[in-house]
Amino acid sequence: MNTQVTAPDMNAADEVRIRRRYAECMHCGFEPAGEERGEYGIDIDASLRRGALLWHIGERRGTTDNDRRKPFSSGFIAEQAAHRYFMLVETALEGLKGRFTEGDFNTILNAECSPIWNWDTWNSVATMVADTFGVDSLDDLEEDGHLRVLLEKLLSLTPLENAAVVDVCERVWRGHDNPLFGAGSER
């Protein structure tokens, strides 16, 4: 299902040009866009995310007002941001080790059975899990029940910790081991 909307007067050549621009700009020469590689899965937020990333990258490239300063490439800015993101997620993961059991994570993974999680800071993993299991209020659950205890843990997560949990879930759905269950982690 393609959720992209195009203007009625846009011709096919314009659409191809725009798609190429976004693919080249956002993927920075590393690899083609997912649809060109035949990836499975539907990423309904791709256009919105790419537009937001273009804006953020543009804000960080630099100006051309001064001949001594050339703007940085979009690729450099994206690579720098990705590096920072991965460092932050890895730091957050260290603090999450031992906070969840494998049973907890199986429940979390069932909130979005996909290698692509459409998550943003306005939507917590706790909300995703609660919605999946039809929970409107913690008061509806047994005080010591598994789901309530898990939701209380998830509600205490910071936005960075939420991003790290989503990152782990996508990794697991893509066939990797769960990095939270290494040596010294609660199982």
Domain ranges of the chain: 12-72, 91-173
CA distance 40 to 165: 22
CA distance 29 to 39: 18
- Report pLDDT for 7: 47
pLDDT tens, residue by residue, 10-35: 556 655 555 555 444 444 444 455 55
Q: Is the dihedral of CA 98, 104, 106, 111 positive or negative?
A: negative
Beta carbons of 171 and 178 less than 8 angstroms apart: yes
Query: Which string of b and e fits 27-50 if b means at least 16 CB within 10 Å?
Result: bbeeeebbeeeeeeeebeebeeeb
* Average pLDDT score, the chain: 79
Res. 134: pLDDT tops 80: yes
